[in-house]
Structure 1
Amino acid sequence: MGTPGEGLGRCSHALIRGVPESLGSGEGSGAGLPALDLAKAQREHGVLGGKLRQRLGLQLLELPPEESLPLGPLLGDTAVIQGDTALITRPWSPARRPEVDGVRKALQDLGLRIVEMGDESATLDGTDVLFTGREFFVGLSKWTNHRGAEIVADTFRAMAVLTDHPYASLTLPDDTAADCLFLRPGLPGASPFLLHRGGGDLPNSQEALQKLTDVTLVPVSCSELEKVGAGLSSLCLVLSTRPHS
C-alpha cells in the first residue's frame, strides 16, 4: 500500500466484491460452508463499502457477486499489493482459484503491474501477509506455504519474515489485527484512519484500540461474514493509483 517514508499507506481506491446468494445457503460450489443470514451479511457488507467511500474518502470499486464463487467477497485473499505492484495469489483451495480472475482484471484496469505465481507448488493467502513499510511478515499456515512466502519476497525484493503464528499476534492482542485496516487516504492535514471491528463484534479489542490517540477510529461490523472466516482485511483491497515517493 505504499513505500517506506511519507507515502506509506496512502490510498486512493478500495476494491470489494458483492455477497452472492450461494454464500447464504452454504451450498455454493459444494463448499460446505455454514449457512448465514444473507440479508444481514449483505447489509454489513454495504455499510463497509459506504464507510470506505464516504468516511475515508476512497474511490470504491465493487465487483458483482458471482454465484459460483461463494467466498468471492473475501477478495483480500486474492492479491498482495505494495506500491504499484499486485501479486496475484494462488489460493490453497482449487475451488477458490477462479476468484482471482475478476480481481486481476480490476487491478489491471487501475494500472497496477500484475505479477502471477507461476509455481504450481506454491500456495498463498493474501491475508497471511502484512507489510510494515520495511519488511513483509508472512504467516505460514494451511493456506500459505513456504514457497508462497518466497514468492512474496522475490516479487517485492524485500525481506520476508516467516512466522508460524498469525501475524495478528504481532500487533494487537486477542488476534484482532486481522480485523483492522490502517489507512492513510492521503488527505492533506488529515489523521490516518483505523477501520476496525466495533465493540459489538470484538469487545475485547476496545481497550487496546482506545490507547491509539493519533488516529481516527472507524468502527464497522462483519459479524455475519465472520461465520465463513471473513475479517476486515479479507473483505477489501486498498491501494493507490497515485505516484509513490
Structure 2
Amino acid sequence: MPTFGRYTHAIISRVPDSFQSLPTIDGTCIDLDKARIQQDALVRCLRSLQVDVLELPPDEDSPNSVFPSDCAVIHQGVALICRPLTTTNNNINNRNNRGKDVATIRAVLRKELDIDVVELTSPKAFINASDVLFTGKEFFVGVDVETNTEGALQLANTWPEYPTTPVKLEGLRRLRDRITMAGVDVLSVSSTEKSQLLLKRIEREASHRYKVLTLPEEDAANCLFVNGTLIHIDSCEAAESYKLFESRVDYPQISLSLSEFHKTGRGLSSICLLVRKFQNIRTL
C-alpha cells in the first residue's frame, strides 16, 4: 500500500479568545464562534478518515498556537522540532520565538505519540515547518523572513536520503499556504503571480516531475491529502476552484469552510499537525 499521505494521528490546538487579536489580510475581525465551528468540522472530518485527533486546550497566551504545523516537520517516525517566529503585524523587526508552542508540540510528540525528536543544533537556524513541502520524493524549503538556509540545511541533514532544495519565497504567505500536495505526485497551486513564480522555481529544481492542479482562488491551493481523500475548501469560499476539484480529481473529496483562518492568510495545512505513527517492534 502506498505510504504517501497516510496518517494515524493529528494534533489540533483549540481556538483561544486571543486568536481574534491576530492581524487579518483585509482588516476584518475574526469571528471566534465561526472559527471554532470550522475547527470542529475539521476534527470530525479527520476522525471520519480514521485519524486519531489529539485536541490541545486553547492557549490564551499564544494566538498562533492554533497553527501547530509550524512547530515540527515529521517523517518516518522522526520529528525535526522547528523554530517558528511570531511576526507582529507583519513587522519582521518585531519577532519572538514561539517557544511555548514548540515546547507543547515537542512534549505531545514524545509522550503521547512516541516520536523520536531531533532538535535544531545551530542557534542561527530558523525554520517554520509550514515553509516545508514534502512531495513523497523530496523536500522543498521556502526561504524567507521565518526560514533561512541554515534551517534548510538542518532539515537536509535530518533526512539525507531525500533531496532538499531551498526556494526563495515572495510575499508573506508560508510555502504550504501557496503550494501543497493534492494527491500522489500532484501539486496544488493558485494562479496568482507569486504562487506561479514559486511553482516555476520548484519545477526548475525538482528531481521528479509532478502533475499540477492550478486553481483560480488563492486560498484553495492549501489542501490536505489524507488517507486517500482530498480535503479542500468549499464552494462558498472558492466556487471556481471547487468546480476544478470536482472535474479533475477522481478520488474521494471532502470540502470544508475555513473563512476565519483564511483571514490570517493561513489554511488547512496550518491548523493541524499530521502524524503517521509507526508501530515499534521490540526484539527480546
Q: TM-score range by the shorter chain?
A: 0.7 to 0.9
> What is the rounded CA distance, in whole Å, between the counterparts of 1:207 and 1:162 in structure 2?
33
Aligned AA (1:12): T
Equivalent of 1:173 in 166, 189, 214: 214
1:97–1:204 CA distance, 2 compared to 1 (3 A): farther
| Structure 2 alignment gaps of length 5 or more | 87-95, 170-174, 180-188, 190-198, 200-211
Matched with 1:17 is 13
| Deviations 1:180-203 (CA, angstroms, capped at 9, x unpaired) | 01112xxxxxxx101111122222
1:149–1:95 CA distance, 2 compared to 1 (3 A): closer
Which structure has more relative contact order (CA 8 Å, sep 6+)? It is 1
> What is the rounded CA distance, in whole Å, between the counterparts of 1:214 and 1:173 in structure 2?
16
| Structure 1 alignment gaps of length 5 or more | 185-191
Tell me how far 1:178 sits from its aligned partner: 5.2
**TM-score of the two chains, using structure 2 as the length reference:** 0.74
**Runs of 4+ deviating beyond 4 Å:** 31-34, 174-178
Matched with 2:119 is 116
Aligned AA (1:101): A
Give the structure with higher Rg (CA). Answer: 2
> What is the rounded CA distance, in whole Å, between the counterparts of 1:212 and 1:32 in structure 2?
35
Matched with 2:46 is 52
In the alignment, is the contact (CA less than 8 A) between 1:14 and 1:237 conserved in 2? Answer: yes
| Deviations 1:93-138 (CA, angstroms, capped at 9, x unpaired) | 3252321111111111201110111222111111111111111011
**TM-score of the two chains, using structure 1 as the length reference:** 0.85
1:161 aligned counterpart, secondary structure = strand
Equivalent of 1:183 in 183, 206, 226: 226
Tell me how far 1:239 sits from its aligned partner: 1.2
RMSD: 2.1
> What is the rounded CA distance, in whole Å, between the counterparts of 2:237 and 2:122 in structure 1?
38
In the alignment, is the contact (CA less than 8 A) between 2:131 and 2:142 conserved in 1? Answer: yes
Identity of aligned residues (%): 35
> What is the rounded CA distance, in whole Å, between the counterparts of 1:92 and 1:172 in structure 2?
30
> What is the rounded CA distance, in whole Å, between the counterparts of 1:172 and 1:163 in structure 2?
20
1:230 aligned counterpart, secondary structure = coil
Q: Does 1:200 align with 2:216?
A: no
| Deviations 1:194-221 (CA, angstroms, capped at 9, x unpaired) | 1111122222322432244432111111
1:116–1:177 CA distance, 2 compared to 1 (3 A): farther
1:172–1:117 CA distance, 2 compared to 1 (3 A): farther
Matched with 1:65 is 58
Tell me how far 1:152 sits from its aligned partner: 1.2
| Number of residue pairs matched by the alignment | 227
> What is the rounded CA distance, in whole Å, between the counterparts of 2:155 and 2:247 in structure 1?
32
Equivalent of 2:259 in 213, 223, 227: 223
> What is the rounded CA distance, in whole Å, between the counterparts of 1:108 and 1:123 in structure 2?
22
